[in-house]
C-alpha cells in the first residue's frame, strides 16, 4: 500500500532532473547562510519558499501537456489584462508600478507571463506546424511585444528581458530564419539611438557604468567593482565557506539576491564556480533532451523555451556579476534568495517533467 502511494506521488517526477535540482538547492542554502551573515531567519524563509515552489512543481508535473495546451490562450489573455490593470491601477513602490491588488491579495502579473508567453507562442505555432511563414513569425513577435512592452513601462527591465528571451526561443525553435534574425539585428543597430532615448535614466546609467564602473565608484559602479573584487579574491580554491571578506564585512551589496554568485566565487573559488556551472549544465542538458524527445510541436517548443530561458538567467546573472553585462536585476536561478523567481523556475521544471513523463505514458 505504501509503495503504491509513493509510486503515485513520484510517477511524474523525473529522477535525474529532480536530483540535480535538489543538489543545487542544497548548495543555495549553504551559500545563503553565509551571504546572509548566518541568518537562520533567512534560511527559514527560504525553506518555506522552497516547499511552496516544490509543491507547485509537483502539481505542474502532474498536469498533462494536453491540458497546458488548452489553457495557454486564456492564461496569456488573463496575464495581459492584468498587466494593463497594473499600468492603470497598479501600486507604485520605489518608483516602479509592478503590483496589482486583487481583492485581499497583491500580485505581480509579470511573473505569470514568464510561463504564459512561451505557452501561448508554443500553442500558436503548434497549429501551424506544416506551414510556418514570415507572417506567422510576425504575429508571434507581436504577441511577444505586447507583454514585454507593458512590463518595460513599469519599469522592470530584468523581467521584460527574460520574457523576451523566452518568447524569442519559441520563435527561433519554430523555424525563424537566419535572414530575419540578421535583418532584425541590423534594424536594432540602426534604431539604437531611438532605443537609447526610450530607456529610463537609471537604465542608461547602468549601460554607461558597464564600460567604466570607476567613473562612479561609490555610486552606480559600486556593485560591479565590489563583485569583481570578490570574484578575483577567491582565486583557484576560494577562501572557504563563511570566510569571504567582501560579503562578511558588508562590502558586497545585494549579496543574498542578485550578487550571490560573487559570494559563492569568493568562498569556493574558480573550482567551485566550475562545479556549479557543471551542475547547471546537467540541468540544461536534461531539459534539452526532454525537448528533443517531446511527442508534439507544442511540447517541444515549450520545453526548449523553458530550458534555454533557464540558461539565459544563468548567463545574464553571471555576466552581470562579472562585469561583462550591465546590472539588470536578474537573480541567479535556484541560488538567489527569494520566492517569486524560485516558484516560476520550478513551475517551469514541473512542466518539463510533465512533458517527459506523460510522453512515456502515451507511447507505452
Q: What would the pLDDT profile of 127-164 be if each residue is shown by its tens digit? A: 876 667 788 888 999 999 999 999 988 878 888 999 99
Residue 226 lies in a domain: yes
Backbone angles phi, psi at 60, to 5 degrees: -65, -35
The CA distance from 151 to 100, in Å, is: 13
Residue 218 lies in a domain: yes
pLDDT at 106 over 80: no
Residue 338 lies in a domain: yes
Question: CB within 8 A of 125, min separation 6: which ones?
Answer: 132, 136, 140, 170, 174, 297, 301
Residue 180 lies in a domain: yes
Residue 24 lies in a domain: no
Residue 90 lies in a domain: yes
Locate 252 and state its grid cell: 558586497
Residue 153 lies in a domain: yes
- Containing domain of residue 293, as a range? 40-363
Give tens-digit pLDDT for 295-348: 899 999 999 999 999 999 999 999 999 988 888 888 999 999 988 889 999 999
pTM for the full predicted model: 0.90
Residue 4 lies in a domain: no
Number of compact structural domains in the chain:
1
Kindly indicate the confidence band of residue 364, based on its pLDDT and cuts at 50, 70 and 90: very low
Element containing residue 168 per DSSP (H, E): helix 157-173
Question: CB within 8 A of 64, min separation 6: which ones?
Answer: 354, 358
CB atoms within 10 A of CB 289: 16
pLDDT at 361 over 60: no
Amino acid at each position: 500500500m505504501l509503495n503504491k502511494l509513493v509510486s503515485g506521488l513520484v510517477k511524474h517526477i523525473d529522477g535525474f532532473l529532480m536530483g540535480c535540482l535538489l543538489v543545487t538547492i542544497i548548495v543555495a542554502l549553504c551559500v545563503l547562510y553565509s551571504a546572509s551573515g548566518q541568518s537562520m531567519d533567512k534560511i527559514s524563509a527560504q525553506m518555506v519558499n522552497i516547499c511552496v515552489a516544490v509543491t507547485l512543481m509537483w502539481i505542474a508535473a502532474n498536469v498533462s501537456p494536453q491540458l497546458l495546451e488548452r489553457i495557454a490562450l486564456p492564461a496569456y489573455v488573463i496575464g495581459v489584462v492584468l498587466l494593463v490593470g497594473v499600468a492603470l491601477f497598479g501600486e507604485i513602490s520605489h518608483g516602479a508600478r509592478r503590483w496589482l491588488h486583487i481583492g485581499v491579495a497583491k500580485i505581480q502579473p509579470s511573473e505569470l507571463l514568464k510561463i504564459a508567453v512561451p505557452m501561448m507562442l508554443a500553442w500558436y505555432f503548434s497549429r501551424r506546424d506544416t506551414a510556418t511563414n514570415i507572417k506567422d513569425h510576425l504575429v508571434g513577435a507581436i504577441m511577444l511585444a505586447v507583454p514585454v512592452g507593458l512590463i518595460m513601462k513599469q519599469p522592470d527591465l530584468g523581467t521584460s528581458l527574460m520574457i523576451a528571451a523566452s518568447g524569442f526561443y519559441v520563435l527561433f525553435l519554430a523555424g525563424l530564419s537566419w535572414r530575419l534574425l540578421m535583418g532584425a539585428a541590423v534594424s536594432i543597430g540602426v534604431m539604437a539611438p531611438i532605443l537609447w532615448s526610450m530607456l529610463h535614466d537609471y537604465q542608461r546609467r547602468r549601460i554607461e557604468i558597464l564600460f567604466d564602473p570607476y567613473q562612479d565608484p561609490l555610486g552606480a559602479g559600486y556593485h560591479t567593482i565590489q563583485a569583481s573584487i570578490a570574484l578575483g579574491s577567491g582565486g583557484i580554491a576560494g577562501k572557504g565557506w563563511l570566510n569571504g571578506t567582501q560579503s562578511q564585512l558588508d562590502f558586497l551589496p545585494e549579496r543574498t539576491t542578485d550578487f550571490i554568485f560573487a559570494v559563492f566565487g569568493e568562498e569556493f573559488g574558480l573550482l567551485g564556480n566550475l562545479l556549479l556551472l557543471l551542475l547547471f549544465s546537467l540541468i540544461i542538458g536534461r531539459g534539452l533532451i526532454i525537448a528533443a524527445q517531446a511527442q508534439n510541436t507544442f511540447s517541444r517548443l515549450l520545453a526548449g523555451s523553458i530550458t534555454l530561458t533557464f540558461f539565459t538567467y544563468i548567463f545574464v546573472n553571471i555576466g552581470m556579476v562579472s562585469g561583462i553585462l550591465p546590472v539588470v536585476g536578474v537573480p541567479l536561478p535556484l541560488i538567489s534568495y527569494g520566492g517569486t523567481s524560485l516558484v516560476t523556475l520550478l513551475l517551469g521544471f514541473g512542466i518539463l517533467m510533465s512533458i517527459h513523463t506523460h510522453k512515456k505514458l502515451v507511447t507505452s
